[in-house]
């Protein structure tokens, strides 16, 4: 074979040629579904028509249409690179030694976060080539529709959890094609961070995709946020249509498909502003309970045994909620009475007891710090541990971590905030210039990243983490700390 042929894989839609770098061959921007344009906007993903010849797959595809990230001031700003046409793509990073010789490596399908509002599997933040090389695994990332294009709830026109349906299409693509890239379709860990972890859990619990998932990597999942109530989702959809000026009685699907995508995003931004609640991570549109991919609530599905037999690696960062509160003046200017008001809105009669317990636990904390600690536990840590407790109690392999590394200097008092572990997992430190959550890095940070990534890769490969005892219910000593 020629050097180029050594980098060509056959998919069910056509041949693709990747690019070799070091010990990895990367295939980027491979279509897994038809472009969601025209009549396919606000429609479930359809098969890609395919192509003739060999398609170059050496550059990341465009992102799906989206607004700016809510966490720009934490992670750093990205230059917009989105477009509707050609946006539903996957990226595959495979060890060179696994390619073209019949080898089968374990697979990690990893979903980006972004609050179901922003993000792209093709961004250099999530470049899986380093993890693939370190762990001798195949790493897959992908785009899925976000914001109104992915999560507007109008079931009467077929628009319901479309982003999740995109993700399900990716898993089917992996099942049908990953062997051509040196991956084993029988050993697929599905993971992600934040909204990506929420998505991974949804896919593992849904009977239609559960059999495609053998293990779970759940990073900073906002599992304290229950799937959206259908009535709330319908009300948000009605408000959104009003902001767009879609008249009552109109052909809604036709009207939405005729609008420029910029108007769709602008109206979504205004809706988010109207619904914004201090410290709350919930976007206006996200997976709806009872819709495709979310047939029942997470807790009920887990209690019914939907995760039985799947290994789970789950964790959080130490200071998750600072990402959502550090730059919000509504939080930073809170008084103790204001904290009680916010807690009462969320917890009712339990608010005073919660406030008292956190005040005892955090002597000297400002009202903003106390509220942030509550949000870290309520949105992220508590329910992650509940999932781990239930899974481990059933005898299934369960591993729990906490990422504790804080940036040097920590100018904005972020601590180990939401998303802080991402450059360590993917060894993509250089992709985060001037990122407050990362700060300056050195040899110790790269060693920490190698340790974290090695543990994750070992879990993907064996269903067990290296030098790390399985979690036991309510046993803090079995939580591994990084940093």
Q: What is the secondary structure of 313-344 as a DSSP string?
A: EEEEETTTTHHHHTT-HHHHT--HHHHHHHHH
Distance CA 98, CA 456 (A): 19
Whether the Cβ atoms of residue 288 and residue 153 lie closer than 8 Å to each other = yes
Is 320 known to be catalytic? Answer: yes
Distance CA 132, CA 473 (A): 32
Structure tokens at 335: 């008084």
Residue 400, H or E segment: strand 398-403
Distance CA 272, CA 8 (A): 44
Three state DSSP letters for 5-74: HHHEEEECCEEEECEEECCEEEEEEEECCCCCCHHHCCCCCCCCCCCCCEEECCCCCCECCCCCCCCHHH
Catalytic residue, from 17, 84, 320, 421: name it. 320
- Burial label, 63 (beta-carbon count in 10 A; 0-12, 13-18, 19+): buried
Distance CA 300, CA 160 (A): 21
Calculate the alpha carbon distances from 106 to 159, 182, 295, 460 in Å: 34, 9, 29, 7
Catalytic residue, from 180, 194, 384, 435: name it. 194
CA 218 remoteness from chain centre? 9
Alpha helix positions (H), 136-161: 147-151
Whether the Cβ atoms of residue 62 and residue 88 lie closer than 8 Å to each other = no
What's the chain's length in residues? 483
Whether the Cβ atoms of residue 196 and residue 113 lie closer than 8 Å to each other = yes
Which residue do the tokens 């290296």 mark?
466
- Burial label, 389 (beta-carbon count in 10 A; 0-12, 13-18, 19+): middle
Structure tokens at 446: 């790269």
Catalytic residue, from 48, 93, 355, 418: name it. 418
Strand ranges (E), 70-221:
89-95, 105-111, 138-142, 183-193, 215-219
Is 120 known to be catalytic? Answer: no
Instruction: Write out the catalytic residue numbers.
Output: 194, 320, 418
């Amino acid at each position: 074979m020629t050097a180029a042929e050594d980098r060509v894989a056959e998919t069910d839609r056509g041949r693709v040629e990747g690019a070799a770098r070091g010990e990895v061959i990367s295939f980027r921007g491979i279509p897994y579904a038809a472009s969601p344009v025209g009549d396919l906007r606000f429609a479930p993903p359809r098969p890609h028509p395919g192509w003739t010849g060999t398609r170059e797959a050496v550059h990341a595809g465009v992102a799906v249409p989206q607004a700016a990230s809510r966490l720009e001031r934490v992670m750093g700003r990205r230059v917009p690179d989105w477009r509707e046409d050609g946006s539903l793509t996957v990226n595959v990073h495979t060890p060179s030694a696994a390619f073209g010789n019949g080898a089968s490596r374990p697979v990690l399908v990893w979903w980006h976060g972004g609050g179901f509002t922003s993000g792209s599997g093709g961004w250099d933040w999530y470049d899986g080539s380093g993890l693939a090389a370190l762990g001798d695994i195949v790493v897959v990332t992908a785009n899925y529709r976000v914001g109104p294009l992915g999560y507007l709830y109008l079931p009467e026109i077929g628009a319901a959890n479309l982003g999740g349906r995109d993700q399900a299409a990716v898993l089917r693509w992996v099942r049908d094609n990953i062997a051509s890239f040196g991956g084993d379709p029988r050993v697929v860990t599905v993971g992600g961070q934040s909204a990506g972890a929420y998505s991974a859990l949804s896919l593992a619990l849904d009977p239609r995709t559960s059999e495609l998932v053998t293990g779970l990597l759940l990073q900073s999942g906002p599992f304290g946020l229950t799937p959206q109530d259908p009535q709330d989702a319908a009300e948000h959809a009605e408000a959104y249509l009003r902001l767009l000026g879609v008249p009552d009685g109109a052909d809604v699907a036709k009207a939405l498909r005729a609008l420029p995508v910029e108007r769709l995003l602008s109206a979504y931004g205004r809706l988010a502003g109207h619904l914004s609640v201090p410290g709350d991570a919930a976007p206006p549109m996200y997976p709806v309970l009872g819709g495709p991919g979310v047939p029942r609530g997470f807790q009920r599905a887990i209690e019914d045994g939907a995760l039985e037999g799947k290994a789970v690696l789950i964790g959080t960062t130490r200071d998750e909620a600072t990402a959502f509160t550090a730059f919000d003046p509504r939080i930073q200017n809170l008084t103790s009475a204001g904290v009680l008001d916010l807690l009462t809105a969320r917890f009712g009669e339990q608010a005073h007891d919660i406030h008292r317990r956190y005040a005892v636990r955090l002597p000297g904390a400002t009202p903003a710090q106390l509220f942030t600690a509550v949000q870290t536990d309520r949105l992220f840590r508590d329910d992650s541990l509940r999932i781990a407790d239930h899974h481990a109690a059933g005898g299934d392999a369960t591993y729990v971590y906490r990422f504790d590394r804080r940036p040097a200097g920590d100018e904005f008092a972020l601590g180990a905030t939401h998303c802080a572990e991402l450059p360590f997992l993917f060894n993509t430190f250089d992709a985060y210039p001037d990122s407050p959550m990362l700060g300056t890095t050195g040899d110790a940070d790269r060693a920490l990243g190698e340790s974290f990534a090695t543990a994750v890769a070992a879990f993907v490969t064996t269903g067990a983490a290296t030098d790390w005892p399985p979690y036991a219910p309510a046993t803090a000593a079995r939580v591994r700390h990084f940093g």
